[in-house]
Amino acid sequence: VEKVFASLPQVERGVSKIIGGDPKGNNFLYTNGKCVVIRNIDNPAIADIYTEHAHQVVVAKYAPSGFYIASGDVSGKLRIWDTTQKEHLLKYEYQPFAGRIKDLAWTEDSKRIAVVGEGREKFGAVFLWDSGSSVGEITGHNKVINSVDIKQTRPYRLATGSDDNCAAFFEGPPFKFKFTLSDHTRFVNCVRFSPDGNRFATASADGQIFVYDGKTGEKVCALGGGKAHDGGIYAISWSPDSSQLLSASGDKTAKIWDVGANSIVNTFNMGSNVLDQQLGCLWQKDHLLTISLSGYINYLDKNNPNKPLRVSSGHSKSIQCLTVHKNGGKSYIYSGSNDVSSNVPQFCYAHYWDSETGENDGFSGKGHTNQVSRMAVDEMDQLVTCSMDDTVRYTNLSKRDYSGQDAVKMDVQPKCLAVGPGGYTVVLCIGQIVLMKDKKKCFAIDDLGYEPEAVAIHPSGGTAAVGGADGNVRLYSIQGTSLKSDDKTLEAKGPVTDLAYSHDGAFLAVCDANKVVTVFSVADGYAEHNVFYGHHAKVVCIAWSPDNEHFASGGMDMMVYVWTVSDPETRVKIPDAHRLHHVSGLAWLDEHTLVTTSHDASVKEWSISYN
């Protein structure tokens, strides 16, 4: 892999999102789906993804030694794995309770771990990292525990926060419950000790932050006197020198507090949209990070609290499709997904990425209102997309702006499209083929007698190849404003899932649900040229290299193969291109660089060499 452009944190409304810090200060980490994403804090385009959990991961944190990461998932599994090698070998795996792990904490010697969440019999456990044997009991709460932290200096102390509106204080090891702190009136979302151990703070859905003595648990003060924020507080993070505290709230602000003086140092107004609610934060070295409900990661600027230094954006849901386009000498990767969150009204945007740096952004304006299922770039530098919202859109790539008038409504849901010279687009809808010219529908064929699944237009224009669920490819002629069947049928080896012409128009490659890719020679009247076997599951996408001699295929087996047209035996294999998720899109940046996307919401770039 040359580059990994990582997915954003997966967030939900009203739920805290934990960002883990790195004791060495270089990285930060968070979770998305079954993945733990590790990113370089100075250059977030440098990323690594851990994909060994079988269930959705909730929290991941570095051991203070920096050598291991512990990550916990919704099934109650805790995995402890190596950070020093690329393979991230598993060191230990435990199941402290059956149910969602919501937070975890290490002791400063990296030898003990406390884990809390929503178990059936108990809400927490604390044990030795290398044997799993218990070093205390986490009791004192009667509802799910949301947060835990351990004092990083001796004598050890442990604090928890729960949905029973209480925090609890423990001494140890072995850790024993000492008393309940019932100052809050709503759920306690986050508890954190200061790095020097002198204080700990609790933050709650009631908008209050209380500060306590780290050794005795006695209350010191309420930040801001009464309420610290106008909305619920989801996360807090101490400054490295223990003098200040960063807080993140549903009131769409983040604040820095001077804890000793009990005063506000900065208020960061993050916006007015519901997506600007702040669900997580991390103070590491000089970096102040927050996570918005949009999933975006904000780098706050103390000198200009109304504008972040930088915002790391991207996809937080599975990526469905992909295309690549050169614009002004730079290659851009365009990816489309269904970033529609279940309880937040949003629009599904295409996203573009600078293939050199990984810097990326969305498009302005209102996008599709449902999953983007296919995209292509036409000769007028327009990104043409079709979506489950039953529209086809044309977006000017130099402006990267969605304008309302360039959305064309289809009679039935579109699922695939292809663009050709002369302003033509062929759109496959359910049970229908539509020909469009210059952004207008001009012809439709209904009553097909088969279900169309994939389409490609020959580079010279004139011919469209349509692959069907019945295992056949049918050729159609584009004549003026009409589409006519050529009465020519090519047989694939199974239901067609994707097809593509080589850039010089010499070959048509067809992949199918029976794990096979068939290449037809256009000049020889579409005679079968070669058949390519190797995938262990349905092949779902295909893309030709600019050299016209190689093409890539991606499958449900999570494999990507790069094939040589003239020799089916010569192939480059990329196993586990995206672990746990099949490859959903492929595109070439140049003859030696392939881009892949997947339902793990990440975009990866690979260097391909033929020996």
* Max Cα distance, the chain (Å): 86
Confidence of residue 343 (pLDDT cuts 50, 70, 90): very low
Report the alpha-carbon distance of residue 200 to residue 202 in Å, rounded. 7
* Residue 463 and residue 455 in contact, taking contact as beta carbons nearer than 8 Å: no
| Helix (H/G/I), strand (E/B), else coil: 72 | strand
**For residue 354, which of 339, 334, 337 has the smallest C-alpha distance?**
334
pLDDT at 277 over 80: yes
Confidence of residue 336 (pLDDT cuts 50, 70, 90): low
Look at residue 347 in the predicted model and tell me its pLDDT.
32
Report the alpha-carbon distance of residue 536 to residue 539 in Å, rounded. 9
pLDDT at 370 over 70: no
**For residue 91, which of 119, 117, 63, 64 has the smallest C-alpha distance?**
63
Name which residue leads in pLDDT, 311 or 169: 169
pLDDT at 44 over 50: yes
Question: Pairing state of beta strands 90-94 and 101-106?
Answer: unpaired
Query: pLDDT for 83-92, tens place per residue?
Result: 988 889 999 9
pLDDT at 349 over 60: no
Q: Cβ-count burial of 126 within 10 angstroms (0-12 exposed, 13-18 middle, 19+ buried)?
A: buried
Look at residue 574 in the predicted model and tell me its pLDDT.
83
DSSP track, 510-575: EEETTSEEEEEETTTTSEEEEEEE--SS-EEEEEE-TTSSEEEEEETTS-EEEEETTEEEEEEEET
Look at residue 575 in the predicted model and tell me its pLDDT.
73
Q: Which residues of 177-188 are buried (b: 16+ CB within 10 A; e: fewer)?
A: beeebebbeebb
Confidence of residue 155 (pLDDT cuts 50, 70, 90): very high
Report the alpha-carbon distance of residue 483 to residue 528 in Å, rounded. 25
Name which residue leads in pLDDT, 144 or 397: 144
- Bridge partners of 67, per DSSP, are none
Q: What is the mean pLDDT of the chain?
A: 88
Peptide bond preceding 421: is omega within 30 degrees of 0, i.e. cis? no
Report the alpha-carbon distance of residue 101 to residue 406 in Å, rounded. 46
Report the alpha-carbon distance of residue 342 to residue 294 in Å, rounded. 12
207-216 mean pLDDT: 98
pLDDT at 152 over 90: yes
191-213 mean pLDDT: 98
Query: pLDDT for 96-133, tens place per residue?
Result: 999 999 999 999 999 999 999 999 889 999 999 999 99
Look at residue 348 in the predicted model and tell me its pLDDT.
34
pLDDT at 259 over 50: yes
pLDDT at 43 over 90: no
Confidence of residue 562 (pLDDT cuts 50, 70, 90): very high
pLDDT at 521 over 70: yes
Look at residue 604 in the predicted model and tell me its pLDDT.
79
| Count of other CB atoms within 10 angstroms of residue 65 | 14
199-210 mean pLDDT: 98
Q: How many residues does the chain have?
A: 611
Confidence of residue 495 (pLDDT cuts 50, 70, 90): very high
Name the residue type at position 276: D
- Flag whether the pTM goes above 0.95: no
90-311 topology per CATH:
Methylamine Dehydrogenase; Chain H (2.130.10)
Query: What are the residue boundaries of the structural domains of the chain, listed by start?
Result: 90-311
